[in-house]
Structure 1
Amino acid sequence: MSVKFYLDKADKRDCAPIHLVLRHKSVQIKVATGEKVHKSEWDPQSQLVDEKHPHHKEINRYLFFLKEQVIHFMDTAAPAQLTEKKLKVKILSFVKGRKANNDKTILPATSDFEKGKQKFTFLDLFAGAGGFSEGFLQAQFKDKIFDFLLASDINENCELTHLARYNYQLGLDVAFLRQDISEPGFLDNLVKSLDGKTVDVVCGGPPCQSFSLAGKRSKFDKKDELFAHYLKVIRQLRPKYFVMENVKGILTKERGKIKEMILQEIRSIIDLNDFHILLDFIKRLGKQTKKSTFLLNCYLDRLQFETAIDKELDELKSKYILLVEKKFKQLTPKIVSYKESKTSIHINTIRHGFKLLERSRELTALKKRVIHEKSSSDLDNDLFVGDFNAFLTAIDPGYIIERIQKAFQFLSPSKEYKADVDELLASLKIYTTTFDDCMQGLKPYVKEAKASREFEQILNQIRLYNIEEPFVAHAADYGVPQNRERVLFIGCRKDQSPVKEVPPTVSAKERVTVFEALHDLDFINMGEEKFQYEEVDLKAKYNGSSKVMAALLKKRDLDGSMNAKSGLSYSDWSKKGRLSGRFPHAKHPFFVKHATELSNIQSHFVAPLLNHKTSKQNSSVVKRLEVILQEGDYDLAKKRLRTEGLASDKRSYNVLKPNQQSPTVVTIPDDYIHYASPRALTVREMARLQSFDDSFVFQGKRATGGIKRKMEVPQFTLVGNAVPPLLARAVAQEILKHIH
């Protein structure tokens, strides 16, 4: 057998097509590769493109890949497959995909599918791989569909995967904002990227699991503030709905107090169009009360914070502190002597505390930088972390106010001025309080004015979002072959119908199994990479149990529900794709390593199957996996592993059960053992367990390890951190039923 390349007859521009010629026994096949070069740029000896050609590296890589795949197919295919016709079809499956992609620019995603459809817009924050994005594009209810405007994340590989999928492959005009949501200017850049477009739905999963009410200023995790910044986006964009996804444990953390705090923050988002009604009401209270109006004015000034962002908010905060500081300066000569006002450590503490509070913008930026450095240096469980946290505590506004309060206690002002001191301290407390706490603080004034009923009516009118209890969504209930539970908070703008739940599409008895999801990909061995589908013979592979295994395969609709007549298997849906023909101009799946290759179509590595590569393990690891697989459970296998000298310090191995759902997919591939082979899963297999279509290609580096996991987001991390698209689709579907 020989596989070679040669140049065919040149055209008028002296460009000659590169042909592949295969000779095997009596079979001879010639296939055009789809590439052309000048004769001067071709080296007949090496059968490669000379480096004089601007894209010689990309074309040579493609030719090498093509030759490798042909040889592999010849070595592994059954004799019946080695006919001239079948061999030509196989070679052309690679050639056509690359040629089709090279012939297409980024095309507009217009199709008959979208004609007459009512489009609602969405954006995806903390987008990661794009699980929410994918699910929302799959959703359709009657004539309603979603239009994708923008995604955002901080990682380069997230951006690369999004651009490759949505802009280059599907032809969408989607913006990607790669910026930390907590950075100053994020909101301005987001609004600029949207270019005046209205956003109907915002989805995303800001981390909340590190929240702690008790130790709010002790850990200083850089993720702690992301939830607050997510809500800032909601306040700015005022979408009809927003979806917030999180881990199940958030519901019971600190006996449910964290959940209540999240709900309180969501309910504190106010409608700026009606906010003046509340402010006018508070001004009227000032005319009706016999109490000091200083605190009432403080509440008015504090509530103005709700109307501003970024620079304007900083100015309002500074103005607030200056007003309180002015009261302190008027009070100082009444509670201490002139000499003490110049020398007292306690007076200096108060005075300097006000200066620190006035510089809240600078301290916030400093805090962010220190937390970033703390995270980058991996400071934890060492002698440095305490010092860093102590500094971060010292510049926190709440702590600064506590020190001011303590300083006043040491001054022991006379009873004559105690009420003034108490009022000043109360005003500082108002400065850091939440909107809901402000409403609680106003109640004595409301009660005095006998206006409680009016006050409640105003609050109901100005709250922008309605939200009841969050609910737990089990991914397996929506056709995902995985035991993955997530909490969903769905906020509904007051002019929209509430979404209280997302009904399951699959009953508990009809859930998709691991075998349904992965059986057709089980043609790969340890240390291999496959680029095309191969037939899996269940009878040969499972011998006496083949009927039992085959019985696990079910016909289903796209959402996982049973459809014995016209349905497809889960694996067939994965191959066909779940976008319902919406993108007829879509390119074939392709892979690039770096963002620099994205705009160079010659660099796109096109193949029918991508992300299907296994790691090469040494013999002792393979033997360990074999023992665990035979025992069916890591804990049950530990005694035998010790006896056979195969024990490991690894805490977790999960043996997949073919007739069940997989455990929650995480970011470390060797946490799982394939149900039929002593090996870890490929990226494509993990993506199947997450319900990603096979045409969704995870770009960039495949895996990483050690401390790099904190900074890099390779393919396995993209998959493990994603929202399962079929779960996202079910959420999007339910929103489409209610939105107007």
Structure 2
Amino acid sequence: MKNAPVFIDLFAGCGGLSLGLLQAGWKGAFAIERTADAFLTYRHNLIDSVRFQYDWPEWLPKHEHDIEAFLDEYKDQLASLNGEVDLIAGGPPCQGFSPAGKRNPKDPRNRMAEKYIEVVRIVKPKFLLLENVRGFNAPFEKASKGKKAVPYSHVVKRRLQKEGYNVEFRVLVSAHWGVPQMRPRFILVATRKDLELDWSPFGELLENRHSFLKSHGLDFGCLQTTKDAIDDLRVEGKELIDSTDGSVRGFKQIKYQELASPSAFQRLMRIGIGEGQGPNSLRLPRHRTHIVERFKRILEECPKGRTLTQEQRDRYGIKKHSITPLCPDRPSATVTTLPDDYLHYCEPRILTVREMARIQSFPDWFEFLGQYTTGGSQRTKSCPRYTQVGNAVPPLLGEALGEMVIGAIAQLGASQRKVA
């Protein structure tokens, strides 16, 4: 397209969705993210780099912003963007909706979707893209009190319709767009009614899936597996060196070496990084000897790709609610923000940040910044690297969605030229 369409990303995290949109041909206006570490990663890779184009407004400082404080302080400036923005994208915090959590309808994080709608009400973009966990489309049954339980997705749909949008949503499986991870995600797409655009977003998305995968060198006939994603990052056969990033000493990492015959997915992830150059965030965990032995037994005795049962966890003395040895020959289960939820498929350890990033489809040139992990009182306030990766929208899925909306904009432009 001659003039790249413009997007705003709300609840941007470290930039997974923005990266996908930018790679699809979009131009960034600005992004709102409340945690300093995640925004630091976002800014380093997407704003300050020379890879992509942003028209960041002078009135907005380039640092982290809480969405509520942002709306209080910059409402007038936002109003000046009315009609100037093509897309508002975002993934409001999902913990209150997640099947993996407590699914608490009173979780204060649920109201962040309301803040998304408030920005939409002010800016009135042509299109909307909202991502969340699939639980966003499931009712809070305990909260119904005898009434028919309604998923929060339906509440959001009605409110956006009142704001003048046609709304469609669907749960998509990320693995169908080249991500080596199942990761089902709720995706909402909305189009401003006055545009009078006749299109079927999800129909076009599915129709273009073959060409999307082919353009990335991926096989339409099979899903990308965990081994496809991370087998070149194994410790076996590699030289170990001191960890090259992070503020804590004493950790090791592999000295990266490309495989003689890399998978198509590995080749895709290596685009944009120097030949033989290793990605960042390769720091290996430091497990105690008895933990390594426990992990070895799990890998030898338990089926891959299945979460350990309560009986198995008791047998190994594991107090964690969930731990899964990954299967090399299938896409990974949905990665979380907790690094010890999964074991490597053939090495007795948890995954590195980079291995999780590969499973999320972040390219190797994308560098994660900040602490690797946090604990105690800092856990709710900070956003370390593992959390940044686990919370992100897979960039490949974001790119497919970005291409879908660009197709609609092209169709809109063609119809306007006919009228003229």
One-letter code aligned to 2:256: Y
CA distance in 1, matches of 2:26, 2:4: 5
Secondary structure of the 1:118 match is: coil
Counterpart position of 1:737: 407
Counterpart position of 1:614: 284
Deviation at 1:516, TM superposition (A): 0.7
Alignment match of 1:518 (pick from 223, 230, 242): 230
CA distance in 1, matches of 2:112, 2:254: 39
Is 2:10 the counterpart of 1:125?
yes
CA distance in 2, matches of 1:696, 1:738: 29
Deviation at 1:195, TM superposition (A): 7.5
The answer to whether the 8 Å contact 1:610/1:684 transfers is yes
Counterpart position of 2:26: 146
TM-align CA RMSD = 3.0
Deviation at 1:640, TM superposition (A): 9.5
Alignment match of 1:465 (pick from 165, 170, 173): 165
The answer to whether the 8 Å contact 2:362/2:395 transfers is yes
- Structure number with the higher helix fraction is 1
Deviation at 1:259, TM superposition (A): 2.7
Deviation at 1:534, TM superposition (A): 1.6
Counterpart position of 2:201: 500
Higher relative contact order (CA 8 A, sep 6+): 2
Which residues of structure 2 form unaligned runs of 5+? 57-61, 98-103, 141-148, 214-218, 242-249, 413-420
Could you tell me the TM-score, scaled by structure 2's length? Answer: 0.78
Give aligned-pair identity as a percent. 31
The answer to whether the 8 Å contact 1:248/1:472 transfers is yes
One-letter code aligned to 2:31: A
Counterpart position of 1:245: 131
CA distance in 2, matches of 1:235, 1:177: 24
CA distance in 2, matches of 1:472, 1:493: 22
Alignment match of 1:570 (pick from 256, 265, 269): 265
CA distance in 1, matches of 2:184, 2:29: 28
Residue 189 to residue 610, structure 1, CA distance change in 2 (3 Å): farther
Residue 637 to residue 519, structure 1, CA distance change in 2 (3 Å): farther
Counterpart position of 1:407: none
Is 2:258 the counterpart of 1:258?
no
Counterpart position of 1:678: 348
CA distance in 2, matches of 1:625, 1:709: 25
CA distance in 2, matches of 1:259, 1:662: 26
CA distance in 2, matches of 1:640, 1:726: 35
Could you tell me the TM-score, scaled by structure 1's length? Answer: 0.45
Listed one character per residue, the Cα deviations across residues 517-570 of structure 1 (whole Å, up to 9, x for unaligned) are 111111367985347522557xxxxxxxxxxxx8xx75xxxxxxxxxxxxxx11
What does 1:408-419 correspond to in 2, within 5 Å?
A: none
Q: Which has the larger radius of gyration?
A: 1
The answer to whether the 8 Å contact 1:490/1:499 transfers is no
Is 2:365 the counterpart of 1:480?
no
What does 1:386-397 correspond to in 2, within 5 Å?
A: none
Secondary structure of the 1:467 match is: strand
What does 1:339-354 correspond to in 2, within 5 Å?
A: none
The answer to whether the 8 Å contact 1:180/1:186 transfers is no
Listed one character per residue, the Cα deviations across residues 289-318 of structure 1 (whole Å, up to 9, x for unaligned) are xxxxxxxxxxxxxxxxxxxxxxxxxxxxxx
Secondary structure of the 2:187 match is: strand
Deviation at 1:242, TM superposition (A): 0.7
Alignment match of 1:164 (pick from 23, 40, 44): 44
Deviation at 1:124, TM superposition (A): 0.8
The answer to whether the 8 Å contact 1:135/1:725 transfers is yes
Residue 650 to residue 210, structure 1, CA distance change in 2 (3 Å): closer
Which residues of structure 1 form unaligned runs of 5+? 1-115, 140-144, 212-217, 270-463, 538-549, 555-568, 578-586, 590-606
Deviation at 1:694, TM superposition (A): 0.5
Is 2:327 the counterpart of 1:657?
yes
Counterpart position of 2:308: 635
What does 1:330-345 correspond to in 2, within 5 Å?
A: none
Listed one character per residue, the Cα deviations across residues 611-664 of structure 1 (whole Å, up to 9, x for unaligned) are 10111111110011101111234637955973xxx4121222111111101010
One-letter code aligned to 1:576: I
CA distance in 2, matches of 1:576, 1:624: 37
